[in-house]
Amino acid sequence: MKMLKAIVRPEVADEIADSLSEAGFNSMTKINAFGRGKQQGIMIGAVRYDELPKTILMLVVTDEDVEEILKLIKYKAYTGNFGDGKIFITSVDRALTVRTGAEEL
């Protein structure tokens, strides 16, 4: 299993979530956050905004589904401008359901 954490613009998060659901990937956590990337925020006139709103989409999926989900997220999140986002992929060693104690594979 892999965990994908996609940090994207808030205005595209719902569209990405809907597309994931339509593709059969229904389990997801959405987190509202603030942050900045390499560009260190943006300047609008004389004001610097160094922390911008972002949305983190977190999914745990099978290894086989990773590429399809990456393709979908990249397609929906792309504008070609700084701040389109970042996707992190990590291995998941174990997962437990709190209510039942059942271990997922």
Tens digit of pLDDT per residue, the chain (105 long)? 999 999 999 999 999 999 999 999 989 999 999 987 776 767 677 777 778 899 999 999 999 999 999 999 999 999 988 888 999 999 999 999 999 989 886
Residue from 95, 92, 86 nearest 57 by CA: 86
Domain boundaries defined on the chain = 2-104
* Residue 56 one-letter amino acid: I
Beta bridge partners of 3: 60, 90
Q: What is the model's pLDDT at position 56?
A: 98
Q: What is the pLDDT of residue 58?
A: 97
Q: What is the pLDDT of residue 41?
A: 66
Its CATH class, for the domain covering 2-104, is alpha beta
The residue length of the chain stands at 105
- At 37 the pLDDT is 74
